[in-house]
Chain A
Protein backbone atom coordinates (compact mmCIF):
# COMPACT_ATOMS: atom_id res chain seq x y z
CA UNK A 1 0.00 0.00 0.00
CA UNK A 2 1.16 3.50 -0.76
CA UNK A 3 1.03 6.74 1.09
CA UNK A 4 1.77 10.37 0.19
CA UNK A 5 4.21 12.04 2.52
CA UNK A 6 6.40 15.12 2.71
CA UNK A 7 9.97 14.89 3.96
CA UNK A 8 12.21 17.89 4.51
CA UNK A 9 15.69 16.58 3.82
CA UNK A 10 18.74 18.79 4.33
CA UNK A 11 16.58 21.89 4.01
CA UNK A 12 14.72 20.82 0.86
CA UNK A 13 11.11 19.68 0.77
CA UNK A 14 10.28 16.41 -1.00
CA UNK A 15 6.71 15.30 -1.63
CA UNK A 16 6.90 11.53 -2.06
CA UNK A 17 4.60 8.58 -2.64
CA UNK A 18 6.07 5.68 -0.66
CA UNK A 19 5.18 2.06 -0.11
CA UNK A 20 4.27 1.92 3.59
CA UNK A 21 6.95 -0.78 4.05
CA UNK A 22 9.76 1.63 3.11
CA UNK A 23 12.11 2.65 5.90
CA UNK A 24 13.43 6.19 6.15
CA UNK A 25 16.87 4.83 5.24
CA UNK A 26 15.60 3.26 2.02
CA UNK A 27 13.54 6.34 1.14
CA UNK A 28 16.61 8.53 1.51
CA UNK A 29 18.98 6.28 -0.39
CA UNK A 30 16.78 4.77 -3.06
CA UNK A 31 14.15 7.42 -3.66
CA UNK A 32 16.00 10.65 -2.99
CA UNK A 33 19.57 9.65 -3.85
CA UNK A 34 20.78 10.81 -0.44
CA UNK A 35 23.40 8.11 0.05
CA UNK A 36 25.47 9.23 3.02
CA UNK A 37 23.38 7.21 5.48
CA UNK A 38 24.62 3.65 5.03
CA UNK A 39 22.95 0.28 5.43
CA UNK A 40 25.27 -1.72 7.65
CA UNK A 41 22.94 -4.20 9.31
CA UNK A 42 19.37 -2.96 8.68
CA UNK A 43 18.46 -4.06 12.25
CA UNK A 44 19.49 -1.21 14.54
CA UNK A 45 22.72 -2.93 15.50
CA UNK A 46 25.43 -0.79 13.89
CA UNK A 47 24.48 2.90 13.62
CA UNK A 48 25.69 3.34 10.01
CA UNK A 49 22.21 4.66 9.10
CA UNK A 50 22.19 7.38 11.78
CA UNK A 51 20.49 10.62 10.74
CA UNK A 52 19.01 13.53 12.66
CA UNK A 53 15.21 13.34 12.69
CA UNK A 54 13.68 16.58 13.94
CA UNK A 55 17.08 17.32 15.46
CA UNK A 56 17.59 14.01 17.26
CA UNK A 57 19.85 11.15 16.23
CA UNK A 58 18.00 7.97 15.30
CA UNK A 59 18.54 4.81 13.23
CA UNK A 60 17.02 5.36 9.78
CA UNK A 61 16.70 1.60 9.26
CA UNK A 62 14.15 1.11 12.05
CA UNK A 63 11.76 3.96 11.34
CA UNK A 64 9.15 3.78 8.60
CA UNK A 65 9.20 6.65 6.11
CA UNK A 66 5.42 7.11 6.52
CA UNK A 67 5.94 7.68 10.23
CA UNK A 68 8.27 10.58 9.32
CA UNK A 69 5.67 12.48 7.27
CA UNK A 70 6.19 16.20 7.90
CA UNK A 71 9.51 15.70 9.64
CA UNK A 72 12.86 17.37 9.13
CA UNK A 73 15.75 15.06 8.30
CA UNK A 74 19.41 16.03 8.33
CA UNK A 75 22.07 13.65 6.98
CA UNK A 76 25.84 14.04 6.81
CA UNK A 77 25.39 15.89 3.44
CA UNK A 78 23.30 18.53 5.18
CA UNK A 79 25.51 19.27 8.17
CA UNK A 80 27.96 21.75 6.65
CA UNK A 81 27.16 25.22 5.35
CA UNK A 82 28.35 27.16 2.28
CA UNK A 83 31.04 24.70 1.29
CA UNK A 84 32.32 24.55 4.88
CA UNK A 85 32.41 21.28 6.76
CA UNK A 86 30.57 21.08 10.06
CA UNK A 87 33.06 21.25 12.99
CA UNK A 88 32.42 17.58 13.75
CA UNK A 89 33.15 16.61 10.13
CA UNK A 90 36.29 18.78 10.16
CA UNK A 91 37.43 17.11 13.38
CA UNK A 92 37.03 13.65 11.80
CA UNK A 93 39.24 14.81 8.90
CA UNK A 94 41.81 16.50 11.14
CA UNK A 95 42.13 13.54 13.49
CA UNK A 96 41.87 10.67 11.03
CA UNK A 97 38.59 9.50 12.54
CA UNK A 98 38.01 6.88 9.85
CA UNK A 99 39.62 4.32 7.59
CA UNK A 100 37.24 3.00 4.91
CA UNK A 101 34.67 5.67 5.79
CA UNK A 102 31.60 3.44 5.64
CA UNK A 103 30.53 4.12 9.22
CA UNK A 104 31.60 7.78 9.11
CA UNK A 105 28.39 9.59 8.01
CA UNK A 106 26.57 7.77 10.79
CA UNK A 107 29.34 8.49 13.29
CA UNK A 108 29.29 12.18 12.38
CA UNK A 109 25.50 12.54 12.66
CA UNK A 110 25.58 10.59 15.89
CA UNK A 111 28.30 12.84 17.33
CA UNK A 112 26.36 15.98 16.38
CA UNK A 113 23.24 14.63 18.08
CA UNK A 114 25.21 13.40 21.06
CA UNK A 115 26.90 16.77 21.66
CA UNK A 116 23.44 18.38 21.71
CA UNK A 117 22.31 15.81 24.27
CA UNK A 118 25.27 16.62 26.50
CA UNK A 119 24.60 20.34 26.11
CA UNK A 120 21.01 19.66 27.21
CA UNK A 121 22.42 18.00 30.35
CA UNK A 122 21.39 14.42 29.54
CA UNK A 123 23.02 11.76 31.71
CA UNK A 124 24.67 8.56 30.44
CA UNK A 125 25.56 5.10 31.73
CA UNK A 126 29.28 5.93 31.89
CA UNK A 127 29.21 5.81 35.67
CA UNK A 128 28.60 9.34 36.96
CA UNK A 129 25.48 9.71 39.19
CA UNK A 130 22.56 10.32 36.84
CA UNK A 131 21.43 13.40 38.75
CA UNK A 132 24.75 15.17 38.08
CA UNK A 133 25.44 17.50 35.18
CA UNK A 134 27.42 15.51 32.61
CA UNK A 135 31.05 16.22 31.78
CA UNK A 136 32.17 14.78 28.46
CA UNK A 137 35.38 12.86 29.17
CA UNK A 138 36.65 9.97 27.02
CA UNK A 139 34.69 7.34 28.96
CA UNK A 140 31.54 9.35 28.34
CA UNK A 141 32.32 9.70 24.64
CA UNK A 142 32.79 5.94 24.32
CA UNK A 143 29.57 5.15 26.14
CA UNK A 144 27.50 7.77 24.31
CA UNK A 145 28.88 6.76 20.91
CA UNK A 146 28.48 3.02 21.51
CA UNK A 147 25.57 2.86 19.07
CA UNK A 148 28.00 3.36 16.18
CA UNK A 149 30.18 0.41 15.31
CA UNK A 150 33.28 0.78 13.16
CA UNK A 151 34.28 -2.35 11.28
CA UNK A 152 37.75 -0.87 10.66
CA UNK A 153 38.23 -0.24 14.36
CA UNK A 154 39.03 3.45 14.05
CA UNK A 155 37.66 4.01 17.53
CA UNK A 156 40.76 5.59 19.07
CA UNK A 157 40.74 8.43 16.55
CA UNK A 158 36.95 8.72 16.59
CA UNK A 159 37.16 9.47 20.31
CA UNK A 160 39.89 12.04 19.64
CA UNK A 161 37.83 13.64 16.87
CA UNK A 162 34.72 13.88 19.01
CA UNK A 163 36.73 15.33 21.90
CA UNK A 164 38.20 17.92 19.53
CA UNK A 165 34.78 18.75 18.08
CA UNK A 166 33.46 19.35 21.56
CA UNK A 167 36.28 21.83 22.24
CA UNK A 168 35.48 23.73 19.01
CA UNK A 169 31.76 23.82 19.70
CA UNK A 170 32.31 25.30 23.16
Chain B
Protein backbone atom coordinates (compact mmCIF):
# COMPACT_ATOMS: atom_id res chain seq x y z
CA UNK B 1 0.00 0.00 0.00
CA UNK B 2 1.44 3.37 -1.01
CA UNK B 3 1.32 6.32 1.40
CA UNK B 4 -1.65 8.65 1.17
CA UNK B 5 -2.85 11.78 2.85
CA UNK B 6 -6.05 11.85 4.90
CA UNK B 7 -8.31 14.84 5.32
CA UNK B 8 -11.64 15.33 7.07
CA UNK B 9 -13.79 17.43 4.78
CA UNK B 10 -15.60 20.40 6.31
CA UNK B 11 -18.10 21.09 3.55
CA UNK B 12 -19.41 19.34 0.43
CA UNK B 13 -18.26 21.97 -2.08
CA UNK B 14 -14.72 21.89 -0.70
CA UNK B 15 -14.63 18.08 -0.69
CA UNK B 16 -15.84 17.98 -4.30
CA UNK B 17 -13.31 20.60 -5.44
CA UNK B 18 -10.45 18.78 -3.72
CA UNK B 19 -11.25 15.36 -5.17
CA UNK B 20 -12.16 16.69 -8.63
CA UNK B 21 -8.78 18.47 -8.85
CA UNK B 22 -6.74 15.36 -8.06
CA UNK B 23 -7.24 12.26 -10.23
CA UNK B 24 -5.80 10.08 -7.45
CA UNK B 25 -7.97 11.46 -4.63
CA UNK B 26 -10.94 9.47 -3.34
CA UNK B 27 -13.84 10.03 -0.96
CA UNK B 28 -13.85 7.88 2.16
CA UNK B 29 -17.15 6.74 3.67
CA UNK B 30 -17.26 3.96 6.26
CA UNK B 31 -14.22 2.42 4.58
CA UNK B 32 -15.59 -1.13 4.59
CA UNK B 33 -14.99 -1.49 0.86
CA UNK B 34 -12.28 1.10 0.26
CA UNK B 35 -9.95 0.00 3.09
CA UNK B 36 -10.30 -3.57 1.86
CA UNK B 37 -9.34 -2.39 -1.64
CA UNK B 38 -6.32 -0.50 -0.30
CA UNK B 39 -5.08 -3.75 1.23
CA UNK B 40 -5.79 -5.74 -1.91
CA UNK B 41 -3.97 -3.18 -4.06
CA UNK B 42 -7.03 -2.51 -6.21
CA UNK B 43 -6.86 1.24 -5.59
CA UNK B 44 -3.87 3.49 -5.10
CA UNK B 45 -5.07 6.91 -3.89
CA UNK B 46 -2.75 9.74 -2.84
CA UNK B 47 -5.48 11.39 -0.77
CA UNK B 48 -8.57 10.21 1.08
CA UNK B 49 -11.20 12.84 1.81
CA UNK B 50 -13.34 11.60 4.69
CA UNK B 51 -16.91 12.76 4.05
CA UNK B 52 -18.66 10.97 6.91
CA UNK B 53 -18.84 14.04 9.13
CA UNK B 54 -20.16 16.46 6.56
CA UNK B 55 -22.90 14.41 4.91
CA UNK B 56 -26.46 14.45 6.28
CA UNK B 57 -27.16 11.26 8.23
CA UNK B 58 -30.88 11.11 8.87
CA UNK B 59 -34.22 10.41 7.18
CA UNK B 60 -36.40 13.46 6.57
CA UNK B 61 -39.95 13.50 5.22
CA UNK B 62 -40.31 15.65 2.07
CA UNK B 63 -43.26 17.98 1.35
CA UNK B 64 -44.34 15.81 -1.62
CA UNK B 65 -44.78 12.79 0.63
CA UNK B 66 -41.42 11.19 -0.17
CA UNK B 67 -38.38 10.96 2.09
CA UNK B 68 -34.78 12.09 1.85
CA UNK B 69 -32.02 9.84 3.18
CA UNK B 70 -28.68 11.46 4.02
CA UNK B 71 -25.77 9.82 2.17
CA UNK B 72 -23.77 9.68 5.42
CA UNK B 73 -26.42 7.63 7.18
CA UNK B 74 -25.07 4.28 8.30
CA UNK B 75 -26.74 1.18 6.87
CA UNK B 76 -27.82 -0.04 10.31
CA UNK B 77 -29.43 3.29 11.22
CA UNK B 78 -31.27 3.42 7.91
CA UNK B 79 -32.54 -0.15 8.33
CA UNK B 80 -33.77 0.69 11.85
CA UNK B 81 -35.42 3.98 10.94
CA UNK B 82 -39.12 3.81 11.97
CA UNK B 83 -40.34 5.60 8.86
CA UNK B 84 -38.39 3.33 6.51
CA UNK B 85 -39.51 0.20 8.37
CA UNK B 86 -43.15 1.20 8.11
CA UNK B 87 -43.30 2.74 4.63
CA UNK B 88 -40.52 0.97 2.71
CA UNK B 89 -39.92 -2.38 4.46
CA UNK B 90 -38.18 -3.74 1.35
CA UNK B 91 -35.37 -1.27 1.98
CA UNK B 92 -34.92 -2.27 5.63
CA UNK B 93 -34.99 -5.94 4.67
CA UNK B 94 -32.47 -5.49 1.88
CA UNK B 95 -30.07 -3.63 4.17
CA UNK B 96 -30.46 -6.18 6.97
CA UNK B 97 -29.80 -9.05 4.58
CA UNK B 98 -26.44 -7.54 3.66
CA UNK B 99 -23.04 -7.93 5.30
CA UNK B 100 -23.02 -8.17 9.15
CA UNK B 101 -24.12 -6.10 12.14
CA UNK B 102 -20.60 -4.70 12.48
CA UNK B 103 -20.24 -3.80 8.80
CA UNK B 104 -23.68 -2.18 8.63
CA UNK B 105 -22.76 0.01 11.60
CA UNK B 106 -19.86 1.42 9.57
CA UNK B 107 -21.15 1.37 5.99
CA UNK B 108 -22.78 4.54 4.66
CA UNK B 109 -25.58 4.99 2.13
CA UNK B 110 -23.25 6.68 -0.37
CA UNK B 111 -20.49 4.10 0.05
CA UNK B 112 -22.94 1.22 -0.23
CA UNK B 113 -24.15 2.50 -3.62
CA UNK B 114 -20.59 2.83 -4.89
CA UNK B 115 -19.17 -0.41 -3.50
CA UNK B 116 -17.50 -2.40 -6.24
CA UNK B 117 -18.06 -5.89 -7.56
CA UNK B 118 -17.05 -8.92 -5.51
CA UNK B 119 -15.86 -10.75 -8.64
CA UNK B 120 -12.90 -12.77 -7.36
CA UNK B 121 -10.83 -11.87 -10.45
CA UNK B 122 -11.47 -8.16 -9.93
CA UNK B 123 -10.27 -8.58 -6.35
CA UNK B 124 -7.12 -10.49 -7.29
CA UNK B 125 -4.59 -8.09 -8.82
CA UNK B 126 -2.58 -10.95 -10.32
CA UNK B 127 -5.48 -11.84 -12.64
CA UNK B 128 -6.57 -10.19 -15.88
CA UNK B 129 -9.66 -8.03 -15.39
CA UNK B 130 -11.09 -5.47 -17.79
CA UNK B 131 -12.79 -3.65 -14.95
CA UNK B 132 -9.59 -3.21 -12.98
CA UNK B 133 -7.16 -2.96 -15.92
CA UNK B 134 -9.01 -2.08 -19.14
CA UNK B 135 -7.96 -4.23 -22.07
CA UNK B 136 -6.31 -6.93 -19.94
CA UNK B 137 -9.11 -9.44 -20.53
CA UNK B 138 -11.75 -11.11 -18.37
CA UNK B 139 -10.68 -14.08 -16.25
CA UNK B 140 -14.21 -14.94 -15.21
CA UNK B 141 -15.13 -16.74 -18.45
CA UNK B 142 -14.45 -20.40 -17.80
CA UNK B 143 -13.70 -19.60 -14.15
CA UNK B 144 -15.68 -19.26 -10.92
CA UNK B 145 -18.96 -17.69 -12.07
CA UNK B 146 -21.55 -18.47 -9.40
CA UNK B 147 -21.89 -14.81 -8.57
CA UNK B 148 -21.71 -13.55 -12.14
CA UNK B 149 -24.21 -11.95 -14.47
CA UNK B 150 -26.85 -13.58 -16.63
CA UNK B 151 -28.46 -10.37 -17.90
CA UNK B 152 -27.00 -7.38 -19.74
CA UNK B 153 -23.40 -8.59 -19.59
CA UNK B 154 -20.82 -8.20 -22.36
CA UNK B 155 -17.90 -10.19 -23.72
CA UNK B 156 -15.67 -7.81 -21.73
CA UNK B 157 -17.16 -8.27 -18.27
CA UNK B 158 -19.71 -10.48 -16.51
CA UNK B 159 -19.34 -8.99 -13.03
CA UNK B 160 -22.40 -8.22 -10.89
CA UNK B 161 -23.12 -5.27 -8.63
CA UNK B 162 -23.13 -6.63 -5.09
CA UNK B 163 -25.31 -4.14 -3.18
CA UNK B 164 -28.59 -5.38 -1.71
CA UNK B 165 -29.66 -1.87 -0.76
CA UNK B 166 -29.31 -0.69 -4.36
CA UNK B 167 -31.72 -3.39 -5.56
CA UNK B 168 -34.42 -2.16 -3.16
CA UNK B 169 -33.74 1.47 -4.11
CA UNK B 170 -34.10 0.61 -7.80
CA UNK B 171 -37.46 -1.06 -7.23
CA UNK B 172 -38.58 1.97 -5.21
CA UNK B 173 -37.73 4.43 -8.02
CA UNK B 174 -35.27 6.29 -5.83
CA UNK B 175 -33.36 9.38 -6.98
CA UNK B 176 -29.70 9.92 -6.13
CA UNK B 177 -28.67 13.48 -5.29
CA UNK B 178 -25.17 14.26 -6.52
CA UNK B 179 -22.97 17.27 -5.92
CA UNK B 180 -20.43 17.93 -8.67
CA UNK B 181 -18.08 20.77 -9.54
CA UNK B 182 -20.93 22.52 -11.35
CA UNK B 183 -23.48 22.14 -8.59
CA UNK B 184 -26.16 19.66 -7.63
CA UNK B 185 -27.91 17.26 -9.97
CA UNK B 186 -30.27 14.34 -9.64
CA UNK B 187 -29.80 10.91 -11.14
CA UNK B 188 -32.50 8.23 -11.26
CA UNK B 189 -31.35 5.23 -9.23
CA UNK B 190 -32.03 2.98 -12.23
CA UNK B 191 -29.64 5.13 -14.31
CA UNK B 192 -26.84 5.42 -11.72
CA UNK B 193 -25.13 2.11 -12.49
CA UNK B 194 -24.15 1.14 -16.04
CA UNK B 195 -24.11 -2.06 -18.01
CA UNK B 196 -20.51 -3.06 -18.79
CA UNK B 197 -20.53 -2.83 -22.61
CA UNK B 198 -16.98 -2.13 -23.75
CA UNK B 199 -16.17 0.06 -20.72
CA UNK B 200 -16.58 -2.17 -17.66
CA UNK B 201 -14.12 0.01 -15.74
CA UNK B 202 -16.98 2.46 -15.31
CA UNK B 203 -19.48 1.16 -12.75
CA UNK B 204 -21.68 4.27 -12.80
CA UNK B 205 -22.47 7.41 -14.75
CA UNK B 206 -20.77 9.57 -12.08
CA UNK B 207 -17.66 11.61 -12.84
CA UNK B 208 -14.54 11.72 -10.73
CA UNK B 209 -15.24 14.13 -7.86
CA UNK B 210 -19.01 13.65 -7.85
CA UNK B 211 -20.23 13.33 -4.27
CA UNK B 212 -23.46 11.53 -3.41
CA UNK B 213 -25.17 13.66 -0.77
CA UNK B 214 -28.61 12.06 -0.46
CA UNK B 215 -31.06 9.51 -1.81
CA UNK B 216 -34.73 10.38 -2.19
CA UNK B 217 -37.67 7.99 -2.19
CA UNK B 218 -40.99 8.94 -3.77
CA UNK B 219 -44.28 8.63 -1.95
CA UNK B 220 -45.30 5.06 -2.79
CA UNK B 221 -48.13 3.91 -0.50
CA UNK B 222 -48.18 0.31 -1.72
CA UNK B 223 -44.50 -0.06 -0.81
CA UNK B 224 -45.72 -0.41 2.79
CA UNK B 225 -46.13 -4.05 1.77
CA UNK B 226 -42.94 -4.76 -0.08
CA UNK B 227 -40.38 -7.51 0.27
CA UNK B 228 -36.79 -8.43 -0.28
CA UNK B 229 -35.88 -12.05 -0.80
CA UNK B 230 -32.25 -13.10 -1.05
CA UNK B 231 -30.87 -16.49 -2.02
CA UNK B 232 -27.28 -17.27 -1.04
CA UNK B 233 -24.82 -20.01 -0.28
CA UNK B 234 -25.20 -19.64 3.49
CA UNK B 235 -28.05 -18.30 5.58
CA UNK B 236 -26.38 -15.03 6.59
CA UNK B 237 -23.29 -12.86 5.98
CA UNK B 238 -23.05 -13.78 2.31
CA UNK B 239 -23.65 -11.99 -0.97
CA UNK B 240 -26.68 -12.76 -3.14
CA UNK B 241 -26.67 -15.43 -5.79
CA UNK B 242 -30.01 -13.94 -6.73
CA UNK B 243 -32.25 -11.49 -4.93
CA UNK B 244 -35.63 -9.88 -5.57
CA UNK B 245 -37.06 -6.59 -4.32
CA UNK B 246 -40.76 -6.21 -5.03
CA UNK B 247 -43.87 -4.23 -4.20
CA UNK B 248 -47.31 -4.93 -5.63
CA UNK B 249 -50.38 -2.69 -5.68
CA UNK B 250 -53.34 -5.05 -5.65
CA UNK B 251 -56.96 -3.97 -5.50
CA UNK B 252 -60.19 -5.79 -6.37
CA UNK B 253 -58.17 -8.85 -7.25
CA UNK B 254 -56.18 -7.04 -9.96
CA UNK B 255 -52.55 -5.93 -9.93
CA UNK B 256 -52.57 -2.17 -10.56
CA UNK B 257 -48.84 -1.65 -10.37
CA UNK B 258 -45.74 -3.65 -9.58
CA UNK B 259 -42.20 -2.53 -8.80
CA UNK B 260 -39.57 -5.22 -9.14
CA UNK B 261 -35.79 -5.32 -9.24
CA UNK B 262 -33.37 -8.25 -9.27
CA UNK B 263 -29.95 -8.46 -7.65
CA UNK B 264 -27.01 -10.76 -8.32
CA UNK B 265 -27.88 -11.09 -12.01
CA UNK B 266 -26.34 -8.06 -13.70
CA UNK B 267 -23.71 -5.31 -13.65
CA UNK B 268 -26.38 -3.10 -12.09
CA UNK B 269 -29.52 -3.61 -10.03
CA UNK B 270 -31.84 -5.08 -12.68
CA UNK B 271 -35.16 -3.29 -12.85
CA UNK B 272 -37.64 -5.90 -14.08
CA UNK B 273 -39.69 -3.69 -16.42
CA UNK B 274 -40.87 -6.61 -18.55
CA UNK B 275 -42.26 -8.48 -15.58
CA UNK B 276 -43.88 -5.28 -14.36
CA UNK B 277 -45.57 -4.76 -17.74
CA UNK B 278 -46.85 -8.35 -17.74
CA UNK B 279 -48.35 -7.91 -14.29
CA UNK B 280 -50.01 -4.53 -14.78
CA UNK B 281 -53.77 -5.09 -14.99
CA UNK B 282 -53.48 -8.85 -14.55
CA UNK B 283 -55.04 -11.15 -11.98
CA UNK B 284 -52.29 -12.57 -9.77
CA UNK B 285 -52.68 -16.24 -10.55
CA UNK B 286 -49.74 -18.62 -10.36
CA UNK B 287 -49.71 -18.62 -14.19
CA UNK B 288 -49.51 -14.83 -14.52
CA UNK B 289 -46.76 -14.60 -11.93
CA UNK B 290 -44.80 -17.29 -13.72
CA UNK B 291 -45.38 -15.68 -17.11
CA UNK B 292 -44.08 -12.38 -15.76
CA UNK B 293 -40.94 -14.07 -14.47
CA UNK B 294 -40.49 -15.92 -17.76
CA UNK B 295 -40.78 -12.66 -19.68
CA UNK B 296 -38.10 -11.02 -17.55
CA UNK B 297 -35.66 -13.91 -17.81
CA UNK B 298 -36.29 -14.62 -21.50
CA UNK B 299 -33.04 -12.92 -22.47
CA UNK B 300 -30.96 -14.45 -19.69
CA UNK B 301 -27.60 -15.75 -20.95
CA UNK B 302 -25.80 -17.80 -18.33
CA UNK B 303 -22.16 -18.75 -18.79
CA UNK B 304 -20.41 -21.97 -17.86
CA UNK B 305 -20.77 -22.36 -14.10
CA UNK B 306 -23.94 -20.33 -13.53
CA UNK B 307 -26.44 -22.21 -15.69
CA UNK B 308 -28.65 -22.58 -12.61
CA UNK B 309 -29.25 -18.85 -12.25
CA UNK B 310 -32.07 -18.16 -14.73
CA UNK B 311 -34.19 -20.86 -13.06
CA UNK B 312 -33.21 -19.65 -9.61
CA UNK B 313 -34.07 -16.06 -10.54
CA UNK B 314 -37.41 -17.07 -12.06
CA UNK B 315 -38.41 -19.15 -9.05
CA UNK B 316 -37.28 -16.52 -6.55
CA UNK B 317 -39.24 -13.86 -8.40
CA UNK B 318 -42.39 -15.99 -8.45
CA UNK B 319 -42.02 -16.89 -4.76
CA UNK B 320 -41.58 -13.25 -3.77
CA UNK B 321 -44.63 -12.15 -5.77
CA UNK B 322 -46.69 -15.02 -4.39
CA UNK B 323 -45.81 -14.00 -0.82
CA UNK B 324 -46.75 -10.40 -1.53
CA UNK B 325 -50.06 -11.32 -3.13
CA UNK B 326 -50.84 -13.58 -0.20
CA UNK B 327 -50.02 -10.79 2.24
CA UNK B 328 -52.27 -8.35 0.36
CA UNK B 329 -55.15 -10.84 0.29
CA UNK B 330 -55.04 -11.55 4.00
CA UNK B 331 -54.68 -7.92 4.95
- A interface, CB within 8 angstroms of B: 1, 3, 19-21, 23, 42-44, 47, 50, 56-59, 61-64, 66-67, 69, 110, 113-114, 117, 120-125, 129-131, 142-148
Contacts and interface: CB of A to CB of B under 8 A. Distances in A.
A156 to B, nearest CB: 16
A147 B234 CA distance: 12
A130 B85 contact: yes
Contacts of A19: 3
Nearest to B5: A1
Contact of A147 (B39, B52, B93, B99): B99
A21 B4 CA distance: 7
Interface string B76-88: 1001100001100
Contacts of A3: 6
A108 B85 CA distance: 28
Given A42-B39, A122-B76, A62 B96 contact: no
B76 A62 contact: no
Of the four ranges (under 10, 10 to 19, 20 to 34, 35 or more), the interface on chain B belongs to: 35 or more
B102 interface: yes
B230 to A, nearest CB: 8
A47 to B, nearest CB: 6
Contacts, number: 117
B80 A113 contact: no
B80 A58 contact: no
B89 A147 contact: no
Contact of A122 (B39, B79, B237): B79
Interface stretch (B28-36, B124-132, B302-310): B28-36
Contacts of A117: 76, 80, 101
B92 interface: yes
B31 A131 contact: no
Contacts of A23: 35
A76 to B, nearest CB: 14
B237 A147 contact: yes
Contacts of B89: 129-131
A123 B84 CA distance: 12
Contacts of B50: 67
Given A19-B3, A63-B35, A110 B102 contact: yes
A120 B82 CA distance: 12
B106 interface: yes
Contact of B4 (A20, A44, A47, A124): A20
Contacts of B36: 43-44, 62
